[in-house]
């Protein structure tokens, strides 16, 4: 009986392993496009069919970029990549409508919310004040987590977005 149970478990494990989706597979079509559009990338954030990242142009300047993964194309982001600012972190909502960005400009580091439908960049206040470093939007783009440095300590602020 014990041998029967052990054999049964063995068969069950083989069946379960056979039904699994297999190994993770790279996406050479999209990965090739990503390599061609910028000399390097960092800080990836995935929405449902969107990839936001910070890309380093061949001239050395970093820019926020958004890629529509379904159509395999770069999405214009007018007003987000200013000549006088340096992006530090980016996050995208699942529908690709909202991007949260940490940018440094004029010796200040600030958090911004970008709405693609209106092309508007809105500064988000931190209370109490601090130096933001990293952002993460929830899927709906309604809740933002911000890593903030205050008095030598790292903290996380949650900001409800209307």
pLDDT of residue 108: 95
136 assigned to some structural domain: yes
Residue 125 sits in which domain range?
Answer: 27-160
Q: How far apart are CA 126 and CA 111, in angstroms?
A: 8
11 assigned to some structural domain: no
pLDDT of residue 40: 77
pTM of the model: 0.80
12 assigned to some structural domain: no
Domain count, the chain: 1
pLDDT at 39 over 90: no
pLDDT of residue 28: 73
Sign of the CA dihedral running 153, 158, 159, 161: positive
pLDDT of residue 22: 78
Neighbouring-strand partners of residue 62: 56
pLDDT digits (tens, 9 = 90+) for 91-103: 999 999 999 999 9
pLDDT digits (tens, 9 = 90+) for 106-126: 999 999 999 999 999 999 999
% the chain with pLDDT above 90: 61
- Domain with 92 in it: what CATH number? 2.120.10.30
Mean pLDDT of the chain: 86
15 assigned to some structural domain: no
Enumerate the H helices of the chain as residue ranges: 2-19, 28-37
pLDDT at 57 over 90: no
């Amino acid at each position: 009986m014990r041998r029967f149970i052990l054999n049964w478990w063995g068969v069950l494990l083989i069946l379960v392993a056979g039904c699994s989706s297999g190994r993770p597979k790279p996406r050479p079509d999209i990965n090739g496009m990503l390599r061609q559009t910028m000399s390097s990338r960092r800080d990836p954030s995935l929405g449902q069919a969107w990839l936001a990242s910070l890309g380093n142009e061949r001239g050395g300047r970093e820019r926020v970029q958004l890629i529509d993964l379904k159509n395999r194309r770069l999405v214009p982001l007018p007003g987000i990549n200013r000549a006088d600012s340096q992006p530090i972190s980016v996050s995208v909502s699942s529908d690709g409508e909202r991007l949260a960005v940490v940018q440094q400009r004029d010796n200040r580091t600030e958090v911004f919310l970008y709405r693609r439908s209106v092309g508007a960049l809105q500064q988000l206040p931190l209370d109490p004040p601090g130096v933001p470093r990293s952002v993460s939007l929830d899927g709906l783009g309604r809740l933002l987590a911000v890593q903030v440095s205050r008095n030598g300590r790292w903290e996380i602020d949650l900001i409800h977005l209307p």
